[in-house]
Amino acid sequence: MAEIKNYTMNFGPQHPAAHGVLRLVLEMDGEVIQRADPHIGLLHRATEKLAENRTYLQSVPYMDRLDYVSMMVNEHAFVMTIEKMMNIKVPIRAQYIRVLFDEITRILNHLLWLGAHALDVGAMTVFLYAFREREDLFDCYEAVSGARMHAAYYRPGGVYRDLPDLMPQYQAANNKSKKEMDRLNNNRQGSLLDFIEDFSNRFPTYVDEYETLLTDNRIWKQRTVGIGVVTPERAIALGMTGPMLRGSGVEWDLRRKQPYEVYDKMKFNIPVGKEGDCYDRYLVRMEEMRESNKIIKQCISWLRDNPGPVISKDHKVAPPRRQEMKEDMEAMIHHFKLFTEGFHIPEGEAYCAVEHPKGEFGTYIISDGANKPYRLKIRAPGFPHLAALNEMTQGHMLSDLVAIIGTQDIVFGEIDR
Amino acid sequence: MQPILQEYFPAFADTIWVLMKIVAIVIPLMISVAYLTYFERKVIGYMQGRLGPNRVGYFGLLQPIADALKLLFKEIIVPTKSSKALFYLAPVLTIAPAFAAWAVIPFNAELVLADINAGLLYVLAMTSIAVYGVIIAGWASNSKYAFLGSMRSAAQIVSYEIAMGFTLVGVLMCANSLNLGDIVAGQSGGILQWYVWPLFPLFIIYFISAVAETNRAPFDVAEGESEIVAGFHVEYSGMAFAVFFLAEYANMILVSVLAALMFLGGWLSPTALIPDGIHWLLIKTAALLFFFLWFRATFPRYRYDQIMRLGWKIFIPITLVWIIFIGAMMQTSYNGMFH
Residue B266 confidence (pLDDT):
79
Residues in chain B where the model's pLDDT stays below 50: none
Instruction: Say whether A17 and B227 touch across the interface (CB within 8 A).
Output: yes
A·B CB contacts under 8 A: 81
Tell me: pLDDT of A276 over 90.
Answer: no
Across the interface, of B225, B302, B305, the residue whose CB is closest to A219 is B302
Please give the C-alpha separations between residue A405 and each of A107, A116, A310, A392, B226, in angstroms, as whole numbers: 19, 10, 39, 10, 11
Q: Which residues partner with A349 through β-bridges?
A: A366
Instruction: Say whether A214 and B300 touch across the interface (CB within 8 A).
Output: yes
Residue A104 confidence (pLDDT):
92
Q: B50 touching A, CB under 8 A?
A: yes
Across the interface, of A128, A222, A400, the residue whose CB is closest to B50 is A128
Contacts of B47 in chain A (CB under 8 A): 125
Which letter does DSSP use for residue B337 in this model?
Answer: G
Residue B1 confidence (pLDDT):
64
Instruction: Say whether B297 and A124 touch across the interface (CB within 8 A).
Output: yes
HSE of A197 in the Cβ direction (CA atoms, 13 Å)? 14
Instruction: Say whether A220 and B301 touch across the interface (CB within 8 A).
Output: no
User: What is the per-residue pLDDT across A68-119, written as a single tens digit (0 to 9) for each?
Assistant: 888 899 999 999 999 999 888 899 999 999 999 999 999 999 999 998 898 8
By CA distance, what is B46's nearest residue in A? A125
Residues 6 or more apart whose CB falls under 8 angstroms from that of A12 comprise: A18, A21, A22, A23, A24
Instruction: Say whether B300 and A121 touch across the interface (CB within 8 A).
Output: yes
Answer whether B339's CB lies under 8 Å from B226's CB: no
Calculate how close chain A gets to B122, using CA atoms only, in Å.
34
Residue B119 confidence (pLDDT):
80
Residue A99 confidence (pLDDT):
92
Q: B309 touching A, CB under 8 A?
A: no
What's this model's pTM, rounded to 2 decimal places?
0.87
H or E segment and range at residue A319: none
User: What is the per-residue pLDDT across A337-389, written as a single tens digit (0 to 9) for each?
Assistant: 888 888 888 899 999 999 999 989 999 999 998 888 999 999 989 899 988 98
Q: B313 touching A, CB under 8 A?
A: no
Residue B223 confidence (pLDDT):
73
Extended strands (E) in chain B: none
What average pLDDT does range A319-347 have in this prediction? 88
User: What is the per-residue pLDDT across B256-270, written as a single tens digit (0 to 9) for each?
Assistant: 998 888 888 878 777
Instruction: Say whether B226 and A217 touch across the interface (CB within 8 A).
Output: no
What average pLDDT does range A315-327 have in this prediction? 86
The complex's ipTM? 0.83
Instruction: Say whether B301 and A129 touch across the interface (CB within 8 A).
Output: no
User: What is the per-residue pLDDT across A184-207, written as a single tens digit (0 to 9) for each?
Assistant: 888 888 888 889 999 999 999 999
Residue B176 confidence (pLDDT):
81
User: What is the per-residue pLDDT across A364-374, written as a single tens digit (0 to 9) for each?
Assistant: 999 998 888 99
H or E segment and range at residue A322: helix A322-327
Whole-number average pLDDT of chain A: 88
Instruction: Say whether A399 and B304 touch across the interface (CB within 8 A).
Output: yes
Percent of chain A with pLDDT over 90: 21
A404 or B155, higher pLDDT: A404
